[in-house]
A and B are shown apart, each in its own frame.
Chain A
Amino acid sequence: MIVKAVGHRLLQAVLVALAVGVLTFLLTGMLPGDMAFRIAAGRYGYDHVTAAAAEAVRAELGLDRPAAMALGHWLWDLLRFDLGDSLVSGDPVVEEIAHQLGHSARLALTAILLSTLLGLPLGILAGLRPGGLVDRASLVLATALRAVPQFVVGILLILLVAVGLGALPVAGHDSAAHGLLPALTLALGMAAVSSRVTRDATLAVVRSPYYAFARTKGLPERAAFLRHGLRNIGVPVLAYQGVQLVYLIEGVVVVETLFAWPGIGHALVHAVIARDVPMIQGTALVMGLTFVLLNGLVDLACAAIDPRRAQA
């Protein structure tokens, strides 16, 4: 079964790589504006982008190659794990992505951690006492948080925590402290939903016959919850984390811009503006494959928690 699941994810990965390659070639080919001028603007800035600079770029990069040939080259290079060089900076795409992906991963991991710390206990407490104070308060809080754009949450956090209290730095990425506010911005949005998912899962478990049985057979509340409750709550919550990954991978653009965080979303936006095709393909490929990989891991984790799923 696991072999089949892994095979499925592998197929998905191959298809994603193909789709990224073909789509970027098709769409970037259709984009308006002269590519050489665009790249020159990305390289030399708005003070120095001139027709002469654009001609130099065109000559250097051989931009007149037909698209199909370029696509073939890209796929061939991809098979050799070579993503090419950025048209703007001239550095290998792999190096740039490694730097940016590292920062994004740091941010994402901290965000997941924080959202779990916030959402899970709150959701379990709410689920154990449905209709209670915690349940109602967390519902209101979650509903409100989900209705506020991320950058507004981020600005509010900066104003309150960084400028008001002086407790954390506003922006930058030198130390771990720098990562907390952007991660918290992401985590609050995720916790708003995951706390409700946890709450519903907890409620379903508590009301289930097997849980009632565990308690009637005399297990203390705590033992019953730890042994029979937690594991069953884990599966839907974990499966939901898989869904949230998309949100994380893409939601970072706004947060990265606001907090001057050099992540992969920021890189993708800049690459599209500058028509840096190898960078667009590289970042999109890495984002897509990360998504497939993480979802594969979530599948495996779910199977590990709940052996019935692995046989299903």
Chain B
Amino acid sequence: MLGALGIGAIAAFALAPSAASALDRTLSIVAPWEIGSTDPSKSGYVFTRLEVAETLLDADDSGQPRPALAASWTVSDDRLTWRFRLRDGVRFHDGTPMTAEAAAASLRHALGKPGPLKQAPVAAIDADGGEIVIRLSEPFGPLPATLAHNSTLILAPAAYAENGQVTQVIGTGPYRIERLEPPQRLVAARFPDYWGAKPAVERIGFLAAGRGETRALMAESGDADIVFTLDPASQKRLRGNRKLQVHAVPIPRTVALKVNAGHPFLQDVRAREALSLTIDRAGIAAAILRTPDAAAGQLLPPSLPEWHVAGLPPLGRDIARASALLAELGWTKGADGILERGGQPFRLTLRTFPDRPELPLIATAIQDQARAAGIDLRVSIGNSSDVPAGHRDGTLELALMARNFALIPDPLATLLEDFGPEGGDWGAMGWTEPRMAAVLAELRDATDPARRAELRRQAVTLLQAGLPVIPVARYQQTAAVSKRVEGFTIDPFERSYRISSLRWAP
């Protein structure tokens, strides 16, 4: 009797929720990032990656801007007025046409919220016929790249409430949201009136799963068609799975130590160099990241060929040289093996955060390796905001971070933010290098390609010599893809999951 009651109840329960799995041919995508909000400034990346919403411009695999919602663009001779001609015949998901007024309004909303556009010297954004006119207060080369950032995506006027909050995501992309359940679930179907080529996959389901092991198991069981961000151990296991294909592409994200160069222990560049010499990058790459070529010998990766200086001697490990440099600075080994100077032990706090699970691991590895040279690091694992907050109140000593140098597809914008005259929340701290400021300032305005290449080389060389941040390792974007799906590629700028170019295997 009780059993029958139970079975009845389970059956009744089973009927209650909507059975989305019954809809055939839904491409299921799993990634770690949650959908925090409908607002592009907070969760825009989800909507551009799933191709629900689009930006004025896009970027190709080398980061060069290319047309998206804007078909073409021009800049005035004084480099202060940019005009973007919009594509014709684009419709929002609510059926209304995308007008220049609507697009300009979206950009003005983005300008009012934190994000890369706010950091550009924008004076005004207006609609003029079929064009958007952006007036700057001073020249800013990376503007096209800024307009490719997901926080600047274009939504229909009906998407915004009166106070500027985005209440629903009404974009222009090839997929239209059917169901949005923050923080973890999104289902979207093909949008029939899309302006571009019609995608082959008719429906997509996105699930945010925070734990790496859950994601790996979902790939293994065939629950998910595409699983992004595999932990190193699972990657190895999934490569042996016949039903899956594992993709890995280097992305312009570098694990680096942010150094307080104003700290008495770290003021001298030789101290920073010594710290860098203690780090076993090859060991970290091979043992923790399990990608031997992930060791970072300079800050910017080879995948950004414009910003990678091939001839630069790579940073490496040399404990003897580190010890010698520290001895030059007056540090002597104490009884417990820790260096001392004037009665003070060489003890620093290394902050990091668990949002990327390998960061705490790398931090403990660095802690162990620095000890070999007598540097005592205390690892403090907190919140990502501890890094900018510590930068501002001056308490930060060292921080291990994973910095994306292509937040917008042009790394110059990130470098300007990180290594400007006053340093940056995620860049230099207490580091004074007037040449760097001059180089970046010139780079911002220069147009001659040869001169720009020379300036980039100078900037990278200055960073390698001064070590305001110490590069450690590089990231790869990884994905396990079911063989049911064909045509998969990874966007090295993580702007899109490129679902619209996928098709089902016959």
Direct contact of A and B (CB under 8 A): yes
Is B95 at the interface (CB under 8 A from chain A)?
A: no
Stretch at the interface among B125-133, B202-210, B308-316, B452-460: B202-210
Tell me, in angstroms, the Cα distance from A116 to B5 when the chains sit together.
Answer: 11
Are the C-beta atoms of A176 and B388 separated by less than 8 Å?
A: no
Partner of B209, one of A91, A110, A171: A171
Could you say which of A42, A109, A171 contacts B214, with CB atoms under 8 Å apart?
Answer: A171
B426 within 8 A of partner (CB)? yes
Q: What 1/0 flags go to A51-92 for Cβ under 8 Å of B?
A: 111101100000000000000000000000000000011110
Docked Cα-Cα span, A121 to B3, in Å, equals: 9
A166 within 8 Å of B (CB atoms): yes
Q: Please determine whether A56 and B113 come into contact, CB atoms closer than 8 angstroms.
A: yes
B14 on the A face (CB < 8 A): yes
* Majority secondary structure, B binding face: mixed
Q: A48-B115, A258-B214 are in contact. Are A88 and B37 (CB under 8 A)?
A: yes
Say yes or no: is A262 at the interface (Cβ < 8 Å to chain B). Answer: yes
A120–B387 Cα distance when bound, in Å, is 53
8 A Cβ contacts from B218-262 to A: 218, 220-223
CA distance A51 to B426 in the complex (A): 10
A273 to chain B, nearest CB (A): 7
Answer yes or no: A260 CB below 8 A from chain B CBs: yes
Docked CA distance A48–B417 (Å):
11
A43 to chain B, nearest CB (A): 5
Q: For A45, list chain B residues within 8 Å (CB).
A: 33, 36, 42, 355, 384
Q: Which residues of B contact A177 (CB under 8 A)?
A: 14, 21
Residue from the list A42, A43, A120, A262 in contact with B185, Cβ < 8 A? A262
Q: In the assembly, what is the distance between CA of A46 and CA of B33, in Å? A: 12
The total of chain B residues at the interface (CB under 8 A) is 68
Q: Cβ of B385 < 8 Å from any Cβ of A? A: yes
Q: Let me know if B6 is at the binding interface, CB within 8 A.
A: yes
Q: Are A53 and B114 in contact (CB under 8 A)?
A: yes
CA of A116 to CA of B355, assembled, Å: 38
Q: Are B184 and A260 in contact (CB under 8 A)?
A: yes
> Is B378's beta carbon under 8 Å from chain A?
no
Within 8 Å by CB of A172, from B18, B207, B386, B401, lies: B207
A34: B residues at CB distance < 8 A? 385, 389
Indicate if the CB atoms of A91 and B6 lie closer than 8 Å. no
Whether, in the assembled complex, A40 has its beta carbon less than 8 Å from a beta carbon of chain B, the answer is: yes
Interface membership of A259, Cβ < 8 A: yes
Q: CB within 8 A of B17: which of A52, A155, A171, A174?
A: A174
Whether the Cβ atoms of A171 and B218 lie closer than 8 Å is yes
State A162–B218 Cα separation when bound (angstroms): 9
Judge if A218 is at the interface, Cβ distance under 8 Å: no
| B221 & A162 in contact (Cβ 8 Å cutoff) | yes
Cross-chain contact A41 with B36 (CB below 8 angstroms): no
Is A158 interfacial (CB 8 A cutoff)?
yes
Find out whether the CB atom of A175 lies under 8 angstroms from the CB atom of B20. yes
Residues B388 and A37 in contact, CB atoms below 8 Å apart? yes
B210 touches A176 (CB 8 A): no
The answer to whether the Cβ of A169 comes within 8 Å of any Cβ in the partner chain is yes
Q: How far is the CB of B390 from chain A (nearest CB, A)?
A: 9
Please name the residue on chain A nearest to B23 by beta carbon: A174
* A51-B391, A262-B184 known; A170 vs B214 contact (CB < 8 Å): yes
Is B385's CB under 8 angstroms from A176's CB?
A: no
Cross-chain contact B211 with A257 (CB below 8 angstroms): yes
Query: A33 at the A/B interface (Cβ < 8 Å)?
Result: yes
- Check B13 against A162 for contact (C-beta < 8 Å): no
From residue B91, how far is it (CB to closest CB) to chain A in Å? 27
Min C-beta distance of B383 to chain A, whole Å:
6
Find chain A residues with CB under 8 A from B97 CB: none
In whole angstroms, how far apart are the Cα atoms of A260 and B224 in the complex? 13
Contact A113 B9, CB 8 Å, known A37-B389, A173-B185: yes
A51 partner residues in chain B, CB cutoff 8 A: 388-389, 391-392, 425
Complex-state Cα separation, A282 to B42, whole angstroms: 22
From B42, which residue of chain A is reached at the shortest CB distance?
A43
Most A CB contacts (10 A, CB to CB) among B17, B19, B185, B391 go to B17
Instruction: Check if A174 sits within 8 Å of B20, measured CB to CB.
Output: yes
Q: Does B335 touch A at the CB level, under 8 Å?
A: no
CA–CA, A43 and B401, complex, Å: 18
**Residue B183 at the A interface, CB < 8 A?**
yes
B96 within 8 A of A: no
Q: Can you report 13 residue pairs joining A to B where beta carbons are below 8 Å apart?
A: A41-B385, A45-B33, A45-B42, A48-B114, A54-B389, A89-B42, A99-B181, A171-B214, A171-B217, A171-B218, A173-B185, A262-B181, A262-B184
Interface residues, chain B, with chain A CB atoms under 8 Å away: 2-3, 6, 9-10, 13-22, 30, 33, 36-37, 39, 41-42, 113-115, 118-119, 165, 181-185, 205, 207-211, 213-214, 217-218, 220-223, 353, 355-356, 382-389, 391-392, 401-402, 404, 407, 417, 424-426
